[in-house]
Amino acid sequence: MNRNQSSHEQQSSVLIIYSWSEIVELISLVSLGWLIVFLFISSANAAVEHGDSLNEIEIHQVKSGLLLFKSEAGSRYQLAATLETDVKIEVTGMIARTRLKQTFKNDSGRWLEGVYVFPLPENAAVDRLRMQIGERMIEGVIKPREEAKRIYKKARNEGKKASLIEQERPNLFTNSVANIAPGEIVVIEIEYQQTVRYDNGEFSLRFPMAITPRYIPGAAVVSDEQIVAFNGNGWAMNTHPVGDASRITPPVFEGDKKINPVRLRVTINAGFTLADVESAYHRITVNHSVSNSTAVSLADAYEVIYAERDFELTWRPETASVPRAALFTEEKDGELYHLVMVLPPANLNGNDMRAARIGREVIYVIDTSGSMSGTSINQARRALSLALKRLHPGDRFNVISFNSTTDKLFSSVRKVTDQNLREAQRYVSSLEANGGTEIRGALEASLANQRESALVRQVVFLTDGSVGNEAELFTLIKQKLGGSRLFTIGIGSAPNSHFMSKAAQFGRGTFTYIGDVSEVESKMNDLFHKLETAVMTDLAVVFDDSESGSGVEVWPKRLPDLYQGEPLLLTARTKLNNQLVVVSGKRQNRAWRNSFQLQQSGNDSGIATMWARAKIAALMDRIHAGEKEKTIKPAVVNVALKHHLVSKYTSLVAVDVTPVRPISEVLDTQALPVNLPKGQAHARIFGRHAQTATPAQLQLMIGVMLLLAALFVWRHNKAVRVPGDV
């Protein structure tokens, strides 16, 4: 036997013996993992077993409206925290100021921390938090997000009352309220403001009240932090594309009754006489006063509705009062902040519109995922059917549907012929809603195969936008848009307005919202006018400040193209009071120019806040254009702290100085559930046997197993030696 052979045999013998050791070690680690999980779950259950038994009741004992969770005892239920919301909105000109009062009631016998994920308008500037304790009001302060969270956690652990407002998305926020005593009521007041929308002579205001469950793409990621705290209280685990999935997927209440009642009142101080005030989805009572003030309240019994669909209010001025321009100014800290609205003239009568109609290549994309089930898919099919009927000879088109996969009607765009249109109508009428919401594949397909053509290329996207990977999709649109224009149509009772509006912004198109089958035709006709007529481009604005070098700052910096009936809306910070402003643009190669005097006639409130909100939005948009987040974050934090605004990087926190919970008492964290939006089917979204709450015990088990597996691999790699190593 030579030396090499002997060495090889010895090495093989060692490897065989070590492999058996590895097997024994792996079995030991798995057993240890199961033991850790068992002991953790057992101790956690034991810690609350006594409290739970005190709060468990049987269904025949319920004498009033209560939120109940079914216990492991089968026929018994546990009392939970409940929420009521009172909303007061005051509209002055183009600014709406909203006070949102959330009342948390602890019906259980345990100390609770309530965590409530709630929607707000996508352009909301949240700037105030107050926590009411008895007769006292604790004012919230703005802090960098990490610092605010540390302050809140410290107060929570010390048994103090505390509240924390965090932004998950520009239209999605979380309110955490710590140390709610058994039987206690805690009131949290949140205030925000926004600009109202003006389009085709109509003002509109939306107050979102429901969250369509978001589709979370990608494989689950389990980190050390999640094993300790699970990072969030939602039903989804974090993934690589959506790192905060557990924070944006609140549990969905599954039951016959509705929860989360809402009272809502709106006061409109328009400054002119109103012709119509309407709400498409809720019955309202309207009272006009002699001072051009209009009061709107819900007409339902007790003026209460349940948070299951968005509230929308529209109002129109009398014909003689239709504004062509509006200016609002606020002086703050020695600087002037302006909100400017200018409505370019249409200059298109009926004959001009026919002459101006443009040849189009249109790609229609329709969402057929599970969240579109029920009334949403009916609205989408009808809207798309109307759109197909508006195509003209000489146009080209295709239809793409998507859920978990993407499907094209034709392999490439086709000419508009009777045969092709009939085939498209049959395809659309056969579509059903089921599966996931893989928007990325549909976007890529709709923006692919662009070629030089005299036709204007338009992508019309019909969806509820219920996805969690918005940032990834915005970046894709910026990269792949090319010469296309993207128009989004929000379908259903609670679409993701942040995704819909931003996708349209990055796509140089517009966003249309359709909340009911009855308004499909009117809303689509408005969109058709935009699609079929020339757009105003090359918009620019010049201030005297710009020439004097005194530092005018306008947001947005790059003005968007305007479609028929749309106004130019911008905010500016200047130092000069009385100066000339010139706005210019082009439509059908015809120049348009308008000038007006920027002069402070009064001191409107909230304009500085809207300027800061617009600047933060513009800074965040630069991340999707490829800039590093670490370079954008300091600028956002600086603006948000100066103007007291909640942002992705700043939060509002309120803490009472007096401890109320004895440290010996256990504090349970409870994620408050939300209603499934009206018209949606739970089984189509979550599956027949879905669980709406986070499977925390399962996540813990998976996390522990993955950590132990990583330890095993590390030890194995450390033990293995390459032949020849010393």
Q: How many CB atoms lie within 10 A of CB 644?
A: 18
- How many percent of the chain have pLDDT more than 70? 78
Given a contact cutoff of 8 angstroms between Cβ atoms, the answer to whether 164 and 653 are in contact is yes
Burial 305-326 (b: 16+ CB within 10 A, else e): bbbbbbbbbbbbbeeeeebeeb
> Residue 320: which pLDDT band, with cuts at 50, 70 and 90?
low
**Residue 189 neighbours by CB under 8 Å, 6+ apart:** 99, 100, 101, 102, 128, 129, 130, 131, 132
Residue in the block written with tokens 């004992």: 61
Return the closest-CA partner of residue 464 out of 372, 546, 378, 602.
Answer: 372
Tell whether the model's pLDDT for residue 574 goes beyond 50: yes
Nearest-angstrom CA–CA distance, 207 and 120? 7
Q: Which amino acid, 400?
A: I
pLDDT band at 122, cuts 50/70/90?
A: very high
Identify the sign of the CA torsion 641, 643, 649, 651.
Answer: positive
Identity of the residue numbered 164: L
55 — pLDDT class (breaks 50, 70, 90)? very low
Q: What three-state secondary structure class fits 625? A: coil
CA 320 to chain centre: 37
Rounded Cα gap, residues 496 and 468, in angstroms: 10
Task: Residue 265: name the closest of 241, 282, 244 by CA.
Answer: 282
Q: Name the DSSP letter for residue 252.
A: B
Mention every residue, 6+ apart, whose C-beta is less than 8 A from residue 89. Answer: 96, 97, 98, 99, 205, 207, 264, 265, 266, 267
pLDDT bucket at 347, cuts 50 / 70 / 90: low
Q: Given this model, what pLDDT does residue 22 score?
A: 63
Please count the other Cβ atoms lying within 10 Å of the Cβ belonging to residue 213: 28
Closest of 235, 245, 180, 226 to residue 671, by C-alpha = 235
pLDDT in tens, 586-635: 887 788 888 888 776 667 889 999 999 999 999 999 999 899 999 999 99
Per-residue pLDDT tens for 666-709? 998 888 889 999 888 888 787 643 333 334 444 555 555 666 66
Name the pLDDT band for 4 (thresholds 50, 70, 90). very low
pLDDT at 70: 44
Which residue, among 406, 494, 6, 414, has the nearest Cα to 210 in the 3D structure? 494
d(CA 695, CA 675): 19
Provide the pLDDT for residue 303: 74
How far apart CA 99 and CA 118 sit, in angstroms, is 14
Please tell me the predicted confidence (pLDDT) of residue 726: 40
